[in-house]
Structures are given as structure tokens and as C-alpha cells.
Amino acid sequence: MTSRPQAARTRKPPGERRAEILHTAARIALDEGLERITLRRVADELGVRPGLIGHYFPAADDLVSEAFAHAAAQERDTLLPPGAHEADRSPTARLAGFLVRLTGADCLDLSRLWLNARHLSRFKPGLRATVREQESLTRTALTGLVEEGVRRGEFRTDDPLGATLHILVTVDGLGAYANDDIDSDSDSDSDSNDLNHPALQDLALTVAEHRLALTPGLLRAAAI
């Protein structure tokens, strides 16, 4: 019987291979959770041997931490692009887009990832440091946007960092319910259905408008 010829393996440059591993691990994290990231699982996804993954990430916890950082950074760059990439949009429009997208259904996996990472970071010091670093980067980016809005006369606050903290803590509070199936069609009388209340759907926008002295409803309208 003739054996089936095996496809030739391509040796990729170290930088490209490492980036491929991180991208794959980050996708697993977003789709299924950080706990599902193992050297074998990533190897299976890429069609390589686990030893190759171990060559780049000898400790699985390091891969978990870097995969979370990779996913968080990608999402932040999408939701809150640097000002140079958004020169044609006002700070108000950029803030509105950030909050509406971040608290919407499209970012549910991202909210679940952050919830997952904060829980696991209690037991994994490396991940805990990475979570803090990503939190700091997001705070810095959003504070910079608030400061720009103040300079342009769109926002009013004498404490941009304080406003940023109020906004992000509100977003994180909403994210704490990311695992609740609030869009379920179930006929259950569970109190979890109260999470569909309009007051919660626009809570982050309302907090931002209050802290930045914006007209109520302006951010929702600006995001359309």
C-alpha cells in the first residue's frame, strides 16, 4: 500500500512564528477562556508539535499572560485608536464610539476575557502583573482622550483621571455580568432579566456625560 506523502513543513522566522502562536492563543482566550490555553491546544490549532510551542513559551503561564495582553491590546487599539489615527473625529465622537462598542454585544467576549483574567490573576502573579499593565495602558489612553476633549472645549472637568476612573469602573461593573445570558428568550422569572433595563444599557454613557458636563443623550447620538 502506498503511503500518503506528508506536506512539507515550512520553517518560519522566529518572530513570525511567535506572533502566530500569540495570535492563536489570544483567539482561544477570547472564544473559550484563558483556562483553555495549553501548549498542546495551541500546537493542535497550528498543526505543529507541542515542543515547538514550548520552545517559545517554556512555561504555559507565560503564554497565558502574553495571550491576554495580546488580545487586550488588539481590542484597545480597535476601540480606542491613538489620536493620530482619528484626527478627523472629535473627542466626543471617539468617546461615544468607544463606550457604545465596549458595552455592546459585539464586545461580550472581551468583557468575559477581562472577567476571566481578573479572576485567574488571583492565583497567577504573572497574569496579575499583566492585567495591571493593560489596565494602566487603557487608563492612560482614555485619560488622554478626555484631556484632548477638555483642550478643545468639548468636555469640562478639572480632574481628567478621576473622570476616566469613574467611566472605567462603571464599564467594569457592567462587565461583571458578562456571563449572564441577558438576551436569552427563556420564560424564566429569574431576576437576571432585569439587566435588560434601559437604565443599565446607557449607564456608562450617563456616567461619562455627568463627569464631563455633557448634555444627557449626547454620547448616544454622537455614536450613531
Q: What cell was used for 110?
A: 472581551
Instruction: Give the Cα separation of 164 and 157 in Å (integer).
Output: 11
- Short-list 79, 59, 52, CA closest to 67: 59
Instruction: Give the Cα separation of 164 and 142 in Å (integer).
Output: 6
The larger pLDDT score, comparing residue 224 to residue 212, is at 212
Helix 39-46, helix 14-32: angle, nearest 10: 110
- Short-list 88, 32, 92, 38, CA closest to 62: 38
pLDDT at site 73: 94
pLDDT exceeds 90 at position 11: no
Using alpha carbons only, give the angle 14, 19, 22 rounded to the nearest 5 degrees: 125
Instruction: Give the Cα separation of 15 and 127 in Å (integer).
Output: 22
pLDDT (tens digit, 9 = 90+) per residue, 20-63? 999 999 999 999 999 999 999 999 999 999 999 999 999 999 99
pLDDT bucket at 68, cuts 50 / 70 / 90: very high
pLDDT exceeds 50 at position 4: no
How does DSSP assign 196-218, residue by residue? G-HHHHTHHHHHHHHHTTPPTTH
Residues recorded for the chain: 224
pLDDT bucket at 1, cuts 50 / 70 / 90: very low
pLDDT at site 122: 95
pLDDT at site 193: 59
pLDDT exceeds 90 at position 221: yes
pLDDT (tens digit, 9 = 90+) per residue, 83-140? 666 778 999 999 999 999 988 888 889 999 999 999 999 999 999 999 999 999 999 9
Question: Is pTM beyond 0.95 here?
Answer: no
pLDDT (tens digit, 9 = 90+) per residue, 95-109? 999 999 988 888 889
pLDDT bucket at 2, cuts 50 / 70 / 90: very low
pLDDT at site 7: 41
pLDDT (tens digit, 9 = 90+) per residue, 158-195? 999 999 999 999 999 999 988 875 454 544 454 555 66
